[in-house]
Structure 1
Amino acid sequence: MVTSLLKANVAMLKKLLVFTLIMFAFGYALVPFYEKFCEVTGINNLLKPDVLIKENWVDEARWITVEFDANTRGLPWQFRPLQSSARIHPGEAISVMYEITNNSDREINGQAIPSYSPRFLDKHLKKFECFCFTKQVLKPYETRQMPVQFVIEPGLPPEINTVTISYTFFELPGSGSVATK
């Protein structure tokens, strides 16, 4: 009985080892498969500025004025763009810096929510990098500069010459002590 139990255990161990090796090989093979899948579907190129710029053409015959706005809602933060506007060609990539300062004596978590004017601008605006993608944690009295990199596609209707990109920061739950009002 002991030998049959031992044989069964050894057989199970061999099966588990083979299964483990197969799963490891499968996981290892998934990386190139995933990369190829993303390349074919275009998913891999969503946030790569060089690829996006190559796929867009720059309409040098047209100018768009982009106005930048910054607000906070219920936060003791000072938030502003370092430039109020920019003049760009559709299809041209641009980088804009925003500055934020926590004017309180506590650490605060915040999240920026974008809004656009005209409303359909989001269909023609492609961001490569934005502080609005993640929550921001500012220590007491900390000041930080944060970039936004984007392109406005040439497909924006030709009658639109001025657009506004606005961000509003809101406090997230879990920030230090409750703010005093």
Structure 2
Amino acid sequence: MKQEVTKTNIDILKKLLIFSVFMFGFGYALVPLYKKFCEVTGINELIRPDGVARNTEIDNTRVVDLLLDANVRDLPWKFKPLQSSISLNPGKLVEVAYEISNESDDLQVGQAIPSYSPKNLERYLKKIECFCFTKQELQGKEVRQLSVRFLIDPEIPEDLRSATISYTFFKIKAD
């Protein structure tokens, strides 16, 4: 009886070891499989590891003027872009900064929602990094600078020479 239990335990141990090796190999193979999947589908293809825009050529023959707007709803915050407008060439990676300050003495939590004018601008605006991707928590009297990194796709229509990017912070409940 004891030999049967020992043999059963050894069989189970062998199966677990084989399964563990298989799962390790599968996990190890997921990285190149994921990279190939992203390459085939075009996901995550905009930025190279060095942070430079990929698959975009800067169109130096055109300039798009962007007005930067900032608003706050139901929060005791002040929010403004550090520059009210910029001129950029389609395809060029740009970073703009905003300043936000909590005018109250209490912790406040907000989320920025972007809006664009004209409405079709969102098809050509490729955001790489944006404070609007996450909620923002500001302690009482805290002042912070937030940035947005983006580029305008060179495929933007020729007649679109000016646009507006607006962010509005709304109050959200803290977790």
SS in 2 for 1:132: helix
Deviations 1:28-81 (A, max 9, x none): 1211221222223221323445233xx222222222110000001100111000
Q: What is the aligned partner in structure 2 of residue 178 from structure 1?
A: none
User: How far apart are residue 148 of structure 1 and its match?
Assistant: 0.8
List runs of 5+ in structure 2 lacking aligned partners.
Answer: none
Q: 1:35, 1:44 within 8 Å by CA — same for their partners in 2?
A: no
CA-based RMSD of the aligned residues comes to 1.6
* Residue 114 of structure 2 corresponds to residue 141 of structure 1: no
SS in 1 for 2:149: strand
SS in 1 for 2:19: helix
Q: 2:109, 2:173 within 8 Å by CA — same for their partners in 1?
A: yes
| TM-score, length-scaled by structure 2 | 0.91
The one-letter amino acid of 1:7's match is: K
| TM-score, length-scaled by structure 1 | 0.88
Distance 2:47 2:61 in 1: 26
Q: 2:53, 2:93 within 8 Å by CA — same for their partners in 1?
A: no
Deviations 1:94-116 (A, max 9, x none): 11100000111111221110000
* Correspondence list, 1:79-118, <5 A: 79-118=79-118
Q: What is the aligned partner in structure 1 of residue 150 from structure 2?
A: 150
SS in 2 for 1:44: coil
Q: What is the aligned partner in structure 1 of residue 52 from structure 2?
A: 50
SS in 2 for 1:51: coil
After superposing the two structures, state which structure 1 stretch, 129-138 or 41-50, moved more.
41-50
Q: 1:109, 1:172 within 8 Å by CA — same for their partners in 2?
A: yes
After superposing the two structures, state which structure 1 stretch, 63-72 or 154-163, moved more.
154-163
SS in 1 for 2:80: strand
Q: 1:47, 1:127 within 8 Å by CA — same for their partners in 2?
A: no
SS in 2 for 1:3: helix
* Residue 34 of structure 2 corresponds to residue 13 of structure 1: no
Distance 2:65 2:44 in 1: 30
More helix by percentage: 1
What is the number of equivalent residue pairs in this alignment?
173
List runs of 5+ in structure 1 lacking aligned partners.
Answer: 176-181
After superposing the two structures, state which structure 1 stretch, 98-107 or 29-38, moved more.
29-38
Q: 1:63, 1:161 within 8 Å by CA — same for their partners in 2?
A: yes
User: How far apart are residue 2 of structure 1 and its match?
Assistant: 2.2
